[in-house]
Structure 1
Amino acid sequence: MFGFFKKKRIPEFDFSALGVDMHSHILPGIDDGAPTVKESILLIKRLQKLGFQKLIATPHIMADYYRNTPDTINRALDLLREELLKQKIDIPVEAAAEYYLDETFENKINAGNLMTMGKDYILFELSYINYPNNIKDIIQKLNDKGLKPILAHPERYPYLYGSIENFYKIKEYGCYFQLNTISLTGYYGKATQKIAEDLVENMMIDFIGSDMHHLKHADALEKSLFVPALAQLLDDGALQNKLLC
């Protein structure tokens, strides 16, 4: 009998027009992302293949779990850059951070020395369980410091799902939104996918990022290139990733 081979679909576009992936966990051994330099390189090669021309690593900073500092992050960045140079992989990699809005975040803001990207953009995330009652004050404080807050993956906070107005309210506080691209594939479940699609439809997304931790995320990111909502996002021309070049 003759075997039949399914032809692999080829996407009609990639992320080259976007340029920058501004949310990833590709630095080795400092959070729940790439555990080793070898794994970091594998993830970077996949991101390159998908068209990205610059990567901004954003390791977690959490008070009681990932106690990263600019020093620990920059040392991991140096280690990764040395390996990229050694392997002659030509792609710029920078580092910022993904700050968790915990009891120490306000103190970090007051102290300064926050790790930002582009012209003073700062990425932060929320609890997946409880709505932070101080979010308006935190966003205001960041703005008062001349920083531009970006809320990481708003589509992943279930307590916001009740109404699109919950998202509008946070944006009105003076905050940008960053969507995890793979949310549009259903990677985090149908409810998250639906909210992600609603945010795209309502033109509320300012940045998209891979939130790359491991190779399963790379597979999902490749799958996202076949999702109509991503094509819509890229066609609208409203995404601001290129400002981080």
Structure 2
Amino acid sequence: MIDIHSHIIFGIDDGSKDEVMSLKMLQKAVASGTTSIFATSHLLKAAHYPGWQDFLVGAERLRQLASEHNLPLAIYSGCEVFMDWDLLDIIAENGSFCLNGDAWDAARASYILVELPMYFIPNYADDFWYELRLKGVVPILAHPERYTELMTKPDLLLRWRREGLLLQCNIGSFAGSFGAHAEQAAKLLLANGLVDFVGSDAHRDSGRDTDMRAGAAVIRELAGEAALQQLTQINPQRIIDGTPLKVKAPQKLIAREKKSKWWNRLFK
């Protein structure tokens, strides 16, 4: 499996606390079947943010750790960019803050992982996606299933989708690790073909860690082995290779099952 979202660089955000924890996270990833992982530390709105070089140095240290401990794990650079208008000026220049951005080439497709504020949608969101596309990068929305407001606005989500937005769900959401609402929303997105990638979104060496097996088992049960391979191997390999990924968008979201009042509200 390829994990496109993790916070395994130590000492740079709210993820891994130190080198020992990062090593344990890498070891757990390998033990659970992950062959490649993206180190996507937060780039947040702040007066003083880490530079792209800081992220690259952190990812390189992880590669050294993996090599020193004989871990067969490829580690790729990247970032989880907070949707903040002021950050547009510094991202995506020559691959900065993009997934696998240190392998940037103008002839390759570039992807960038973006997170929304957790409890609201910025009024400039449409323009933010547009500006990213002008920069020549394909935006990937991190864990859409966790944004309650967005999941109650399926028309907005589908419009963004038709405009080229890709979606990454946290694989733990399928197994209930992020709560019942996120689990139901992730399954809804999967049933409608709206999940392109999954990631652990790991922040620790236990609990919210790099083991993706529980969520993978649920995806396999719901959608089959071929769909699991698409999300955990085929699509993320396109990020690594710098090749385009075709976007599919249904006309509307269709509920496969309705288990709660919250679920039903999505279709009013």
The superposition leaves residues 99-152 of structure 1 with CA deviations (integer Å, 9 ceiling, x where unpaired) of: 001132222248665222253111111101121111111111111221111010
C-alpha distance in 2, partners of 1:149/1:35? Answer: 28
Corresponding residue to 1:175 among 140, 165, 175? 165
**CA 157–188 in structure 1, closer or farther in 2 if over 3 Å, else same:** same
Q: Residue 232 of structure 1 corresponds to which residue in structure 2?
A: 223
C-alpha distance in 2, partners of 1:202/1:227? Answer: 16
Corresponding residue to 1:37 among 14, 19, 29? 19
SS in 2 for 1:226: helix
Q: Residue 236 of structure 2 corresponds to which residue in structure 1?
A: 241
Q: How far did residue 23 of structure 1 move?
A: 0.6
Identity %: 26
RMSD, matched Cα: 2.3
TM-score (norm 2): 0.77
Corresponding residue to 1:79 among 38, 50, 61? 61
**CA 233–68 in structure 1, closer or farther in 2 if over 3 Å, else same:** farther
Is 2:199 the partner of 1:199? no
Moved more, 23-32 or 157-166: 157-166
**CA 234–96 in structure 1, closer or farther in 2 if over 3 Å, else same:** farther
Question: Partner letter of residue 74 of structure 2?
Answer: P
SS in 2 for 1:129: coil
C-alpha distance in 2, partners of 1:90/1:40? Answer: 15
Is 1:212–1:218's contact at 8 Å kept on the other side of the alignment?
Answer: yes
Q: Residue 148 of structure 1 corresponds to which residue in structure 2?
A: 138
Corresponding residue to 1:88 among 49, 59, 70? 70
**CA 75–26 in structure 1, closer or farther in 2 if over 3 Å, else same:** same
C-alpha distance in 2, partners of 1:177/1:230? Answer: 20
**CA 132–50 in structure 1, closer or farther in 2 if over 3 Å, else same:** same
Is 1:197–1:229's contact at 8 Å kept on the other side of the alignment?
Answer: no
Is 1:20–1:244's contact at 8 Å kept on the other side of the alignment?
Answer: no
Q: Residue 263 of structure 2 corresponds to which residue in structure 1?
A: none
TM-score (norm 1): 0.84
C-alpha distance in 1, partners of 2:221/2:208? Answer: 16
Corresponding residue to 1:57 among 23, 36, 39? 39
SS in 2 for 1:216: coil
**CA 227–189 in structure 1, closer or farther in 2 if over 3 Å, else same:** same
Q: Gaps (5+ residues) in structure 2?
A: 101-108, 241-268
Q: Residue 212 of structure 2 corresponds to which residue in structure 1?
A: 221
Is 2:120 the partner of 1:130? yes
C-alpha distance in 1, partners of 2:39/2:131? Answer: 24
Q: How far did residue 51 of structure 1 move?
A: 1.4
Q: Residue 3 of structure 1 corresponds to which residue in structure 2?
A: none
SS in 2 for 1:124: strand
The superposition leaves residues 215-243 of structure 1 with CA deviations (integer Å, 9 ceiling, x where unpaired) of: 21238733224325665165236431121
